C-alpha cells in the first residue's frame, strides 16, 4: 500500500482498517531501511499513526506542519512522496531532518529543539495579518523538547492571541533519554489521573461559558466498565496560561487521534493536544530498550537490533572514563547535561555519583547560568554538551560565567565536522565564537592522551571558563610530540635547516598537518609540523616556532576566516612577523549532509588539497 501513497491526499480515502495495515507497512519499511543506512529509528516508529492523522486532518502544505527537532519526520517524508531511503543522511540522499530543498511540505530544517511553537506562532500571526484565515499551523513538539524555556516563552505568547495554532505534544516520556523534572512529573500525573482516561469513543459535545473562556466538554459515554472522559479545557498544567487542552489521547488510536485533531482545528484559536505515544513502537528490540540505543542508530541487524560494525573506543568514552576518575578524586566536581546524559558520556559518573549530576532537560541556557552559580558556591561544574548546542547559551557563557570569572569547564563533544546529521549539527562555530570571550581558555586535544590531560588541567582552573573540544567518532592512535617549545608541540621536522614552511594543526587536524608536511617535504622543502593542546589564549612559544618561515599553514575544523589560525596570525603580525599565512578550515556556510570524509574533501581540508595550495603559494 505504501508505494501508492504519493501525497497526503492519497490517505484521505482510506478506511481505518486500511490505515492500520499502512501503519504496519510503514514500520516494516522504517526498520528495513534505517537498519541499512542508520538514522533515527525509535522516534519515527512512535509517530506513525500520529503522522497519518496529521496529514488526514490538515492539508499540508496549505496548512503548515512544523516538527520540533525534525528527527521524527521520516513518516512525514514517506507520506509526502519521498520513498527512496537508500541514501538517507548520505550525500545526495534524503536529509535526516525536514528540508525545504526536498519538499514544499517541509517547513523548518533546523534540528535544535524547543523551537517549533515559536515557529508556529510566527507563521500563524503572519497569515492572520495577511487575512489567510483558512490556514492552520501545527507544531509537533515532544515532551522532552517542552522542557526547553523557549517553548514556554512561545506558549505564554500564544495564549494571548487567537491565531489558528494547534500544538501537538508528542508525549513518550523521553527526549534522547527519559524526560526529567517537574514537567515530567506533571505529565505522569495526567497520564494516571482518572479524569483523563484515554479516549475510547466520543460523546456528544456540549458547551459551557466560564468567564471569558469558552470551555468545550464532552458528555461521558460508557464502554463496558470504562468511561470516556474527554474534554477541551484549561488543563491544570496550562490553565494559568489560558490555553485550551485536549487529551491525553492514545497516540496509536487512529480514529481518536483524528477526532481530537479535527476538534482542535475547528476551534480556530490556540489549542494544545496531548498525545501519548510509545517510542520504538512495533519493533521489539526498540520497545524493550531502556537505554535509548534506538533513538539514533548506525547500520544494524534488523532481526536483533545489534550493530553490524561494533563501535570503536571513542572520544566520548575517553571523557567518560576521565570524568569518573575525577569524581572519585574530587568531591567538588559536579556534572551538568541538557537531556543528553548518555550521549555526552556522563552516564557512568551519574551511576556512581547521582547527587552530583544535574540534568536540566533541553535547557542549555539554564545549564550554563546554574553552572556559574555552582562555581560561586564552591563547586567545579563540568557542562557536557554537543558543540553545536553551546551556540544556544553563548550569552550565558559570556555574561554569567566569563564576566564573573567563574571556574566552569565545558566539554564540547562532536566539535568540528560531524557530517551526516547535516548543517545544524556540525560543531564548526565554537572556536569562532569563543575567541571573543575575555579570559576563556580553549583546548583542542589531538588524541586520547591530550584529551585526558586537557580535562585535568581545565579542572584546576577556578577563575575563568575553560573549554575542551573534541570530535565525533573513534579515537585514532596517539600522536606523540618530538619535542616541546613552551606550549607548542613539534610533531614532525622534515628536511635540513630552518623550516621554510610551518604547518600548524589544531586538535583532531594534527594528523592532517603531519601529512601535509610530508607532502611538502617530498617536494624538497624544509617543513615543520606542530600543534598546541591549549590554543587560546595564543600559546607561548608560537613566535619561536615560526622562526623565519616563509609560509605558515593552519589547519582546523572550524571557520576558516574567524578561527584559531586567524587569531594566531594576527598575534604574529602584531609582533612584526612577515611570513605569509594560508588558513584552511570550514567555509562560512551551511554544509549539506554527507559523511565526514566527504565534507572534508569538499571544503578542501584533505592533505592533498592543502599541500597543493601551499605549494602554489611557494612557487
Is residue 392 annotated as part of the catalytic site, yes or no? Answer: yes
Cβ atoms < 10 Å from Cβ of 116: 30
Calculate the alpha carbon distances from 455 to 112, 225, 320, 324, 384 in Å: 27, 60, 11, 12, 12
DSSP string, 84-144: --TTTTSTTS--SS--TTT-TT-------SS-HHHHHHHHHHHHHHTT-TT--EEEEEETT
Q: Would you say 449 and 478 are in contact if contact means Cβ atoms under 8 Å apart?
A: yes
Q: Which of 381, 380, 334, 378 is nearest to 356 (CA)?
A: 334
Q: Which backbone phi and psi does 529 adopt, to 5 degrees?
A: -110, 135
Active-site option among 234, 364, 448, 489:
364
3-state secondary structure of 179: coil
- Catalytic annotation present for 364: yes
CA-CA distances (angstroms) from residue 598 to 269, 487, 588, 595, 602? 47, 33, 17, 5, 6
H/E element, 222: strand 221-223
Residues 6+ apart with CB under 8 A from 452: 318, 322
Distance CA 122, CA 135 (A): 13
Of the candidates 233, 195, 235, 229, the one whose C-alpha atom is nearest the C-alpha of residue 214 is: 233
Where are any strands of DSSP class E within 257-312? 271-276
Helix then strand then coil, in percent of the chain rounded to 5, is 35, 20, 40
> Which of 265, 392, 441, 519 is the catalytic position?
392
Three-class SS state of 40: coil
Distance from C-alpha of 481 to C-alpha of 539, rounded to nearest angstrom: 16
- DSSP for 225-261, written as a single string: TEEE--EEE--TTTGGGT-EEEEEEETT-HHHHHHHH
Binding residues for Mg(2+) are: 143, 172
Q: Which residues are annotated as a binding site?
A: 71, 111-113, 143-145, 172, 283, 364
Who contacts 145 (Cβ-Cβ below 8 Å, separation ≥6)? Answer: 68, 69, 113, 114, 116, 151, 175, 362
Question: Prior bond to 596 cis, omega within 30?
Answer: no
Closest CA to 582 of 550, 547, 606, 545: 550
Cα 371–Cα 450–Cα 363 angle in degrees, nearest 5: 25
Say if residues 454 and 533 touch (Cβ distance below 8 Å): yes
Cis upstream peptide for 61 (omega within 30°): yes
Give me 9's grid cell: 491526499
Can you tell me the distance from the alpha carbon of 124 to that of 132, in angstroms, rounded to the nearest whole number? 9
Active-site residue, 265 included: no
Q: Which candidate in 56, 229, 279, 469 is catalytic?
A: 279
Binding residues for thiamine diphosphate: 71, 111-113, 144-145, 172, 283, 364
Catalytic residues: 279, 364, 392
Amino acid at each position: 500500500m505504501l508505494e501508492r501513497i504519493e501525497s497526503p491526499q492519497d490517505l484521505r480515502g482510506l478506511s481505518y482498517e486500511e490505515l492500520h495495515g499502512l501503519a504496519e507497512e510503514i514500520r516494516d519499511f522504517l526498520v528495513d531501511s534505517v537498519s541499512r543506512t542508520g538514522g533515527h529509528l525509535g522516534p519515527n516508529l512512535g509517530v506513525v499513526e500520529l503522522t497519518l492523522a496529521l496529514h488526514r486532518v490538515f492539508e499540508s502544505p496549505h496548512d503548515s506542519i512544523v516538527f520540533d527537532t525534525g528527527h521524527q519526520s521520516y513518516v512525514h517524508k514517506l507520506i509526502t512522496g519521498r520513498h527512496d531511503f537508500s541514501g538517507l543522511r548520505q550525500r545526495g540522499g534524503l536529509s535526516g531532518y525536514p528540508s525545504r530543498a526536498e519538499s514544499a511540505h517541509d517547513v523548518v530544517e533546523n534540528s535544535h529543539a524547543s523551537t517549533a511553537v515559536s515557529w508556529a506562532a510566527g507563521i500563524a500571526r503572519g497569515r492572520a495579518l495577511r487575512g489567510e484565515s483558512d490556514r492552520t499551523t501545527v507544531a509537533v513538539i515532544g515532551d522532552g523538547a517542552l522542557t526547553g524555556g523557549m517553548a514556554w516563552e512561545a506558549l505564554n505568547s500564544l495564549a494571548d492571541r487567537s491565531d489558528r495554532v494547534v500544538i501537538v505534544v508528542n508525549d513518550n516520556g523521553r527526549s534522547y533519554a527519559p524526560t526529567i523534572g517537574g514537567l515530567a512529573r506533571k505529565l505522569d500525573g495526567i497520564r494516571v489521573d482518572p479524569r483523563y482516561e484515554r479516549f475510547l469513543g466520543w460523546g456528544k459535545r456540549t458547551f459551557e461559558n466560564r468567564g471569558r473562556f469558552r470551555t468545550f466538554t464532552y458528555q461521558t459515554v460508557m464502554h463496558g466498565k470504562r468511561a470516556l472522559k474527554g474534554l477541551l479545557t484549561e488543563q491544570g498544567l496550562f490553565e494559568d496560561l489560558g490555553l485550551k487542552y485536549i487529551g491525553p489521547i492514545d497516540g496509536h488510536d487512529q480514529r481518536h487521534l483524528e477526532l481530537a485533531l479535527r476538534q482542535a482545528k475547528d476551534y480556530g484559536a490556540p489549542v494544545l493536544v496531548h498525545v501519548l505515544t510509545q517510542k520504538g513502537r512495533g519493533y521489539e528490540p526498540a520497545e524493550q530498550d531502556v537505554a535509548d540505543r534506538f533513538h539514533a542508530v548506525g547500520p544494524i541487524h534488523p532481526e536483533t537490533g545489534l550493530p553490524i560494525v561494533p563501535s570503536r573506543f571513542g572520544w566520548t568514552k575517553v571523557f567518560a572514563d576521565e570524568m569518573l576518575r575525577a569524581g572519585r578524586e574530587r568531591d567538588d566536581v559536579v556534572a551538568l547535561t541538557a537531556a543528553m546524559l548518555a550521549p555526552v558520556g556522563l552516564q557512568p559518573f551519574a551511576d556512581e555519583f547521582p547527587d552530583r549530576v544535574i540534568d536540566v532537560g533541553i535547557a542549555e541556557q539554564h545549564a550554563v547560568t546554574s553552572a556559574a552559580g555552582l562555581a560561586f558556591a564552591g563547586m567545579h561544574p563540568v557542562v557536557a554538551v554537543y558543540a553545536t548546542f553551546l551556540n544556544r547559551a553563548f550569552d550565558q557563557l559570556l555574561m554569567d560565567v566569563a564576566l564573573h570569572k567563574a571556574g566552569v569547564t565545558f566539554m564540547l563533544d562532536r566539535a568540528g565536522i560531524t557530517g551526516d546529521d547535516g548543517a545544524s549539527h556540525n560543531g564548526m562555530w565554537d572556536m569562532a565564537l569563543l575567541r571573543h570571550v575575555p579570559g576563556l581558555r580553549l583546548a583542542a586535544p589531538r588524541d586520547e592522551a591530550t584529551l585526558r590531560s586537557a580535562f585535568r588541567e581545565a579542572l584546576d582552573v577556578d577563575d575563568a571558563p575553560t573549554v575542551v573540544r573534541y570530535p565525533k567518532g573513534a579515537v585514532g592512535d596517539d600522536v606523540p610530540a618530538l619535542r616541546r617549545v613552551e606550549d607548542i608541540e613539534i610533531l614532525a621536522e622534515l628536511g635540513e635547516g630552518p623550516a621554510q614552511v610551518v604547518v600548524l594543526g589544531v586538535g583532531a587536524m594534527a594528523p592532517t598537518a603531519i601529512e601535509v608536511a610530508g607532502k611538502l617535504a617530498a617536494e624538497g622543502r624544509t617543513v615543520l609540523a606542530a600543534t598546541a593542546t591549549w590554543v587560546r589564549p595564543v600559546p607561548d612559544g608560537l613566535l619561536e616556532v615560526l622562526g623565519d618561515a616563509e609560509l605558515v599553514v593552519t589547519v582546523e575544523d572550524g571557520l576558516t576566516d574567524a578561527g584559531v589560525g586567524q587569531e594566531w596570525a594576527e598575534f604574529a603580525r602584531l609582533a612584526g612577523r612577515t611570513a605569509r599565512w594560508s588558513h584552511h578550515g570550514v567555509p562560512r556556510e551551511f554544509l549539506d549532509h554527507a559523511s565526514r570524509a566527504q565534507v572534508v574533501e569538499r571544503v578542501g581540508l584533505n592533505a592533498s588539497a592543502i599541500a597543493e595550495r601551499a605549494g602554489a603559494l611557494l612557487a
